[in-house]
Amino acid sequence: MWLYLLALLGLYFLRRWYRERQTVEYLTEKYVFITGCDSGFGRALARQLDARGMRVLAACLTQKGAEELQKATSGRLKTTILDVTSTESVAAATEWVKGCVGDKGLWGLVNNAGVINGPIPNAWLTKEDFANVININLLGMIDVTLHMLPLVRRARGRVVNMASMAGRVAVYGGGYSLSKYGVEAFSDTLRRDLIPFGVQVSIIEPGGFATPLVNTSSESLKAAWSRAPPDAREAYGQLYFEEIYRLLQKLHPLCSTNLCLVTDQIEHALTSCHPRTRYSAGWDAKLFYLPVSYLPSFLVDYMWSHIFPRPAQAV
């Protein structure tokens, strides 16, 4: 009995391995538009796909980021400036992409642009702090996708959205987890909308990676503490801030520096004949965050209460 089950399990993984190794044809003729290419995953992905021979259209927030990327890649790669929080900027980028792809349409749309905040309690923040993150990570993604959808449908292509394990387990306060939960929901509904058109939607869920954005979370924590309302500062106390700051300093070295663990999965979602719906990147994602996301809430609450320090006025 057990031998039959093992044989069936082996056949399942063999079939999956075979299917996932099949790639689409004529990759060098396909256009991919990537947001957030100034640094981190976006920059690394743009260089990786360019080296593979694909036609990369890279959107950067700054002219400096665009020029540096252009110098590090081939003449095939083209850059444009894009602020995903501005509908006018998104519309202009869409017209630019139309001029680049022509009648071929857009094979790949990679929504990568985003920001992150540190382990900041909600009470230290304002509505504007939440809105700033959500406008970039979620609403900006939605705006770009809606503008680019006609081009993606024409090519029967792919949409790849950058989510996070924080979209499965809300690790700390602020707009980051809220935005990534929203990315998960938007991607699921988008996938079901686009199945009849032959368009496939994939979600990337990285764990902890040492990107420039993650490296700024300590500064975000200090800035939030300095702006926190007096009653919040009194409730949490200076010691809480110092302990959580030290905790963040200990966690940073644990973040993976191998960005290829993420960019390889995005490449697979763009080039495989049978892309996955979700990709979990990093061992912490696979061995910690994913299992934790299926635990009862009271167990997760208990774990978090022993990971994070106690506020000064905690009962």
Contact 49, 73 (CB under 8 A): no
Is 176 catalytic? The answer is: yes
Both tokens of 143, joined, read 């705006």
The domain locations on the chain are 26-307
Dist CA 296 CA 294 (whole Å) = 7
Q: What is the mean pLDDT of each run of 10 residues along the chain (315 residues)?
A: 75 75 88 96 97 96 95 95 97 97 96 89 94 96 98 97 94 90 97 97 93 78 91 94 88 86 97 95 92 93 88 86
Q: How far apart are CA 309 and CA 242, in angstroms?
A: 10
CA atoms within 13 A on the CB side of 148: 36
Residues in the chain: 315
Give the pLDDT score at 22.
79
Report the pLDDT value the prediction gives residue 17, as an integer from 0 to 100.
75
Q: Angle 175-194/127-134 helices, nearest 10 degrees?
A: 40
Query: For the whole model, what pTM was predicted?
Result: 0.92
Strand partners, 162: 204
In this predicted structure, what is the pLDDT of residue 157? 97
* Tokens of residue 269, six digits: 């979602």
Catalytic pick among 31, 172, 176, 289: 176
CA distances from 283 to 32, 82, 94, 118, 287 (A): 28, 32, 36, 21, 6
CATH number of 26-307: 3.40.50.720
pLDDT of residue 52: 93
C-alpha span between 65 and 68 (Å, rounded): 5
Q: Which pLDDT does position 313 carry in this prediction?
A: 86
- For the chain, give percent helix, strand, coil, nearest 5: 60, 10, 25
